A and B are shown apart, each in its own frame.
Chain A
Amino acid sequence: MNGYNFAYLDEQTKRMIRRALLKAVAIPGYQVPFGGREMPMPYGWGTGGMQLTASILGADDVLKVIDQGADDTTNAVSIRAFFERVAGVETTTVTPAASVIQTRHRIPETPLEPGQILVFQVPIPEPLRFIEPSEQETRLMHALEEYGVMHVKLYEDIARHGHIATTYAYPVKVDGRYVMDPSPIPKFDNPKLDMSPALLLFGAGREKRLYAIPPHTRVESLDFEDHPFEIQRWEQRCALCASDKSFLDEVITDDAGGRMFVCSDTDYCLTRRGELS
């Protein structure tokens, strides 16, 4: 295949990532360091997710790649084309037809099924990083379960704005132990992490960390008794498919204040409009 090994990475790199993935699954929410490789694209474009996908992908897999929910944006199109070329796998945009879904910052609206694997691209895997810049310190904080500072951060939101203003990368606690960054998905998607039937894998290429949530694992979004966790709501419905249950993007349509709200998940929206079988 163009002189590359199947799925681009060499076998020894895949084995290293595979061993790390088994640890990640065994310690849900814990960030396992791995020897991240350079990929033929810049950091920040999903190199972590790609390395995970390359390590798990088989010839009989069907791959879907989404970027902010859409199958047709630059990142999604180029990563899909990459794996078509270096692995020759079948690709799809249909969520239920995919066995592996690599995603940037969304979880599909269509509920995932057992056996599916969702691979998240993660820019900064450490949820405590903006509070504590030292890796040594954040490691120690995770070791000691010293997560009070995370609640302080959310409390500062309430003090300043009257409500929790964190809307994406909303911190979660996995199986009552590790506080984890669910990657910059909107908090709208956080409830889908809890007891998900699908395996969830997270890869951060620049930071060289990977972590996982096995299926049927408790995932709670951090909150307060008097300020419970809430997801975004819209007064509008999707302008194209009229869904009132999906995550909506605001699209500016002219320079006179015209705008519309449409589903961020293109496959979900097209399916509802009957344009996909």
Chain B
Amino acid sequence: MPWPTLNDPVHDSQRLFRQLLTAMSEPGTLHTLEVPSPPGDDIGPALWGVLLTLCDLDTRVWLAPALDGPALQEALVFHTGCRLTADPAEADFALVTPGVLAEPIAFALGSDEYPDRSTTLLVALDTLEPAGEWYLTGPGIALQRQLGLGVAAAPLMARLAANRGSFPCGLDAILTCGARLAALPRSTRIEEVA
């Protein structure tokens, strides 16, 4: 079954990008993306929409083994023209599940002079709720926001919480669950509240 693409690439990708921009500039806010659903359960519409909006022949994408498959590879390359890479250190985007971050995978963190040369994590989650165990503060957050991500997200959040120590280098993350999306840029301070 062929993977669907955006009905109106110009205006749909603009609309999706603005949702992404809002998500990234107001970390922890939830956004629902209207994107045709890809087949299978691994990649939700929000994640597929992000890939269609941001990837092109200038981007290298790293696929976590848990999500990798010929159908996804073919669809990605066909619809976006992006290059797939086996080396996480040269990936612009990494498609991951939260558990993958338990391994110390060497994604690009950027350098002190060019912190923007880093990998952005595109995460497929099972849980993404506006309230829960993670408290967020920092730029883009007036007082405090919360996110509930389920127990499976612990390795991911441990990795993102470490961003503070290496700022301005670090990983930005776009969290998706089905059609919902939130973002956690490296500037966000993350605290777990038991």
Contact between B25 and A27, CB atoms less than 8 A apart: no
* Pairwise interchain contact B54-A18, C-beta atoms closer than 8 A: yes
In the assembled complex, the CB of A180 is this many whole angstroms from the nearest CB of chain B, namely: 13
List CB contacts (< 8 Å) of B116-154 with chain A: 116, 118, 120, 138-142
Chain A 142-153 near chain B by CB (<8 Å), digits 1 or 0: 111000000000
Give the A-B pair count, Cβ closer than 8 A.
113
Return B88 CB to nearest CB of chain A, in Å. Answer: 18
Pick the most buried of A27, A55, A115: most chain B CB atoms within 10 A of its CB. Answer: A27
State whether A16 touches B58 (Cβ < 8 A).
Answer: yes
Distance from A20 Cβ to chain B, minimum over Cβ atoms (Å): 7
Partner of B24, one of A14, A15, A26: A26
What are 10 inter-chain pairs, A to B, with CB distance below 8 A? A18-B21, A22-B120, A25-B25, A27-B185, A30-B115, A59-B14, A175-B187, A214-B24, A214-B139, A215-B142
Given A23-B172, A26-B185, A214-B26, A57-B21 contact (CB < 8 Å): no
Q: Is A19 an interface residue (CB 8 A)?
A: yes
User: Given A22-B21, A22-B172, does the pair A6, B11 have CB atoms closer than 8 Å?
Assistant: yes
Q: Are A30 and B168 in contact (CB under 8 A)?
A: yes
Known: A33-B114, A56-B14. 20 other contacts (CB 8 A): A6-B14, A12-B57, A18-B20, A18-B21, A18-B54, A19-B59, A22-B20, A23-B172, A25-B185, A27-B187, A33-B116, A55-B17, A139-B113, A175-B139, A178-B168, A199-B21, A213-B139, A214-B24, A215-B142, A216-B139
B9-A30 in contact (CB<8A): no
Could you tell me the distance in whole angstroms from the C-beta of B109 to the nearest C-beta in chain A?
Answer: 12
**CB of A92 within 8 A of chain B?**
no
A217 to chain B: which residues have CB within 8 Å?
A: 139-140
Cβ–Cβ contact A57 & B14, under 8 A: yes
Partner of A140, one of B18, B57, B113: B113
Contact, CB under 8 Å: B11 / A59? yes
Q: Chain B contact residues: over half helix, strand or loop, or mixed?
A: loop
Chain B residues lying within 8 Å of A14, measured Cβ to Cβ, are: 13-14
How many A residues face the partner with a CB closer than 8 A?
Answer: 44
Contact status A177-B168, CB under 8 Å: yes
A175 to B168, CA, bound (A): 12
Contact status A15-B139, CB under 8 Å: no
- B residues within 8 A CB of A218? 139
In the complex, whether B180 has a CB less than 8 A from a CB of chain A is: no
